[in-house]
Structure 1
Amino acid sequence: MTFKFDPQHPFSCFVTHSESMKNTVQNAQRFAMFDVPLLIQGETGTGKDLLAKACHYQSLRRAHKFIAVNCAGLPDEDAESEMFGRKVGEDETIGFFEYADGGTVLLDGIAEFSLSLQAKLLRFLTDGSFRRVGEEKEHHANVRVICTAQMPLNQLVEQGKVRADLFHRLNVLTLNVPPLRERIADIEPLTEGFLQEISESLNIQKPTFDRQFLVYLQQYNWQGNVRELYNTLYRACSLAKDNRLTIENLNLRLPSNTLVSIEEFEKQTLDEIIGRYEAQILRAFYREFPSTRKLAQRLGVSHTAIANKLRQYGIGK
């Protein structure tokens, strides 16, 4: 994710060695210039909001407002007024769409809106027109809308949480942000960058760590993704002694399936046991390096050896 955000170079804060994340960032840079709704999907903590902000500052709307709205934080009875404004007698207020006229509005967690509110949003996305609550007069706002969702929106449509017509309206430009557990190659550069940022904020020397510490981070599942990694490293820095990070500082527990149990291997030979883990490792790395040449280069073996292994385990196309 993510070090300090620079509006002049909005995508410079994304530090990644992962092929999947590189593709996401490259697509985001292209999509930033298109003036149509954008959908960003990904688990919590993956950096969807930061990606949306980068798209705004890369766009022609950069000189105008960027408003981020937490959809879950809007009470249902107030959400329409917050979006479109309200008029009661002579008193009137404007909503965030009108306030951001010319700029960008991020709707973070679009599935949190009620179905009736989604219908009103769909109308606004169609032509930019709306009515304030308590008023019949039509208004218009020129806003680019970026929506985020933690689950693929088509699944939420099937669950009845998102209107199908809204999904089809949003499903034009879509970015899928991969979870951190599928971006093992990013753990090390993210750790280095976060430690630099954290040490500056704590006014301490940047802590050191050994290879075992890094491997432990790479084995952890990171359900909270990049945000959880940052918070974990912040806590570890606060607990570090002699400016050195240890696994104990992390206060994390690896899933039990990372621990070796003799019983689970039954009568398998050593070659069979190693092959089992080799296949898992190759599948994980192949998601990041779907080219046999890139994969061979990353793992430090010959292209022929990798091709044979992938064929042996049925990995790839």
Structure 2
Amino acid sequence: MSAAHILVVDDEPDIRDLVKEILEDEGYEVSTAENGATAREARRARRPDLVLLDIWMPDIDGISLLKEWAEGDGLPCPVIMMSGHGTVETAVEATRLGAYDFIEKPLSMAKLLLTVERALEADKLRRENIGLRRQARPVAEPVGRSDTVQKLKAQAQRIALHEAPVLITGEPGTGKEIYARFIHASSPRKAGPFIDVGVGSIARENSALELFGSEAGDKVHYGRLEQASGGTLFLDELADMAPETQAKLAGALENGSFLRIGGKEPVQVNVRVIAASHRDLETEVHAGRLREDLYYHLNVLPMRLPPLREHCEDVPELLTYYVNFFVDQEGLPYRNFTMAARNRLRNYGWPGNIRELKNLVQRLLILGGEEEITLEEVEAAISHVQPNRARDIGHIPLDLPLREAREQFERNYLLQQFKECDGNVARLAEKVGMERTNLYRKLRALGIDPKRAPEDE
């Protein structure tokens, strides 16, 4: 993984050179700027991980520059202000605008290094907390002791040592993001960010903006590709990406650089890309829905995740893991599966794989009363799931073109989930993992009125 990139902005050459030399000795990568104009250009050329910003400069003061950067998307990284003539009011204003800290000149290099280290660590924790709130499965590593899981973990650890792109495939709910995070955590890039992009949850017309960012004048919006700099970019459901964005991503992987929307100068790529899909991507390529060059760029290190029914011996351990998770993380009452209930679930087909198991555990903990989860309770829970699934899938004629069949499935799926959420769009968005604006757009595209009760459809 590359070292943290620090931008030092100061109009005094001696201070710039000294700070640059000391930071580089500590293993950081450092760029410098002597005034506001060159600082803007340096920030446009490459997203910094931290900025050391002097207050008094000839063309613009640091507070005004900080305010300019804080507008719109907010500060892209921690900013530490430096000044030899600072006041309490100046420090308060800098903090209000989002600066991490304020240090006085003459600089104490020991204090500077400690502040830099703490600022980078605080930013890393902030990003990790956002990621944990967003992801539904905060699993440190894949759960299971079967030969299947042990071989997959060993494969993931071998893959982690290399920089080449990874393509993870498997049925929905098999844990593709879990393995992507495990690869990242086992790699030399583990100290860098892990940025996950649910391609299907981004409106197709906004996908290039979200991924590559934009610039207009001095205003720069960093896309997910730059946010993942030095770390890993995880693209979930690759086949849902808009064709124009596919072309731009293929070009970025080929050339090692890309243009932001509205940009004129190339930005270097420094990420490890892991993509995932539950679809047969070769079929998507042959059907013209996925670019062949993008597929081959990403399919360097393929990894297939088997469905849970192929390693059902891991079900008891998964049940125990998710019971403990919901008790510890969500404060749900502890309940224990009886041996008969465990054995029934071990022999259940799990069409929804690990995601279905997790949701089943959560439902049983919430709705049950006794400490033990009985066989009868489990039978009732899985019999409630199976008829709905069979009914919804059975409504789709198998002679339809794939795109039409997928649209019918999406409509049936969202209608069923909408019913289970009692017509509450906010709960539906959380349940299906989509941003609410994109969900409204998807519902309307499928002819579902978000304002009408789902039973009326």
TM range (shorter): 0.7 to 0.9
Larger radius of gyration: 2
Give the distance between the partners of 2:342 and 2:208, measured in 1 at CA: 47
**2:214 counterpart residue number:** 86
- Determine helix, strand or coil for the equivalent of 1:233: helix
What pairs with 1:270-289 in structure 2 (closer than 5 Å)?
Answer: none
Q: Which has the higher contact order (CA 8 A, sep 6+)?
A: 1
Instruction: Provide the aligned length of Structure 1 versus Structure 2.
Output: 249
Give a deviation string over 1:128-184, Cα, whole Å, max 9, x none: 200111222211121111100112322322332211121111221011111111111
Give the distance between the partners of 2:322 and 2:361, measured in 1 at CA: 8
**Residue 75 of structure 1: which of 183, 198, 203 is its match?**
203
What pairs with 1:272-311 in structure 2 (closer than 5 Å)?
Answer: none
The amino acid across from 1:77 in the alignment is E
Distance 1:97 1:4, change over 3 A: closer
- Determine helix, strand or coil for the equivalent of 1:63: coil
**1:120 counterpart residue number:** 248
Give the distance between the partners of 2:337 and 2:198, measured in 1 at CA: 37
**Residue 265 of structure 2: which of 116, 123, 137 is its match?**
137
Give a deviation string over 1:71-103, Cα, whole Å, max 9, x none: 011112211111111122443312111222111
Give the distance between the partners of 1:224 and 1:255, measured in 2 at CA: 10
The amino acid across from 1:35 in the alignment is E
**2:354 counterpart residue number:** 226
The answer to whether the 8 Å contact 2:344/2:375 transfers is yes
- Determine helix, strand or coil for the equivalent of 2:210: helix
Give the Å deviation of 1:198: 2.5
- Determine helix, strand or coil for the equivalent of 1:147: strand
1:241 aligns with 2:369: yes
1:252 aligns with 2:382: yes
Distance 1:18 1:154, change over 3 A: farther
TM-score when normalising by structure 1? 0.72
Give the distance between the partners of 1:3 and 1:154, measured in 2 at CA: 28
What pairs with 1:1-317 in structure 2 (closer than 5 Å)?
Answer: 5-6=139-140, 13-201=141-329, 203=331, 206-250=334-378, 251-253=381-383
The answer to whether the 8 Å contact 2:308/2:350 transfers is yes
Give the distance between the partners of 1:219 and 1:113, measured in 2 at CA: 37
The amino acid across from 2:160 in the alignment is A
Distance 1:5 1:202, change over 3 A: closer
Structure 1 unaligned runs (5+)? 7-12, 257-317
Give the Å deviation of 1:202: 5.2
Q: Using the aligned pairs only, state the percent identity.
A: 33
Higher mean alpha-carbon deviation, 194-203 vs 74-83, is at 194-203
The answer to whether the 8 Å contact 1:3/1:14 transfers is no
The amino acid across from 2:373 in the alignment is L
Give the Å deviation of 1:70: 0.7
The answer to whether the 8 Å contact 1:36/1:144 transfers is yes
- Determine helix, strand or coil for the equivalent of 1:178: coil
The answer to whether the 8 Å contact 2:205/2:242 transfers is no
The amino acid across from 1:80 in the alignment is A
Give the distance between the partners of 2:364 and 2:222, measured in 1 at CA: 45
Give a deviation string over 1:103-137, Cα, whole Å, max 9, x none: 11101111111222111111111232001112222
Give the distance between the partners of 1:153 and 1:25, measured in 2 at CA: 23
CA RMSD of aligned residues (A): 2.2
Give the distance between the partners of 2:186 and 2:293, measured in 1 at CA: 29
**1:284 counterpart residue number:** none
Give the distance between the partners of 1:55 and 1:46, measured in 2 at CA: 16
Give the distance between the partners of 2:272 and 2:228, measured in 1 at CA: 9
The answer to whether the 8 Å contact 1:52/1:146 transfers is yes
Distance 1:205 1:86, change over 3 A: closer
Higher mean alpha-carbon deviation, 194-203 vs 28-37, is at 194-203
Give the Å deviation of 1:203: 4.2
The answer to whether the 8 Å contact 1:21/1:177 transfers is no
Structure 2 unaligned runs (5+)? 1-135, 388-457
